[in-house]
Amino acid sequence: KMLVQLLLPFLLLHLCLCDDLDYKLLPYHSLTNFFHNLSDHFPNLIKVESVHSKYSVPFQSGRCGNSNCTIYLATITDFAHSKKPKPKVYLSGNLHGDERLGPNVMAYLAEYLLENANRDENVARL
């Protein structure tokens, strides 16, 4: 747990300093597709679930296009190889007022962690 707390700020800083990062502000449906695409490409490392199904959380009154706004939970771990209990870290990408950056930061962080899980030993250790 301490290792995660120490390494995570450095990973976030690295993300911010990457020259090759193609950042785009993603609207709701693009974020949903983004996470489902990550799940398709890294099925052993990420699981994307609706909190409404998993925890019986009711839908809020807002709409996302023609449907309810589904709140998703993404769990990133090595599902294929690790069976022993591990420390858990909760990172929230919730919206706050008109600040739309949170969900996008979580999306790009998830992408970074998944793409580097087999290339960077510090990421793999997380």
pLDDT, tens digit, 9 for 90 and up, residues 103-123: 888 999 999 999 999 998 888
- What CATH number should be reported for the domain holding residue 77? 3.40.630.10
Angle between helices 101-116 and 28-41 (to 10 degrees): 10
Q: Which of 22-26, 70-74, 77-81, 115-119 has the lowest mean pLDDT?
A: 22-26
Share of the chain above pLDDT 70, in %: 83
Enter the pTM of the model.
0.79
- Note whether 38 and 110 are within 8 A (CB): yes
Q: How many domains does the chain divide into?
A: 1
Q: Angle CA(66)–CA(70)–CA(74) in degrees, nearest 5?
A: 145
Domain around 112:
2-125
Instruction: Report the C-alpha gap between 77 and 119 in whole angstroms.
Output: 15
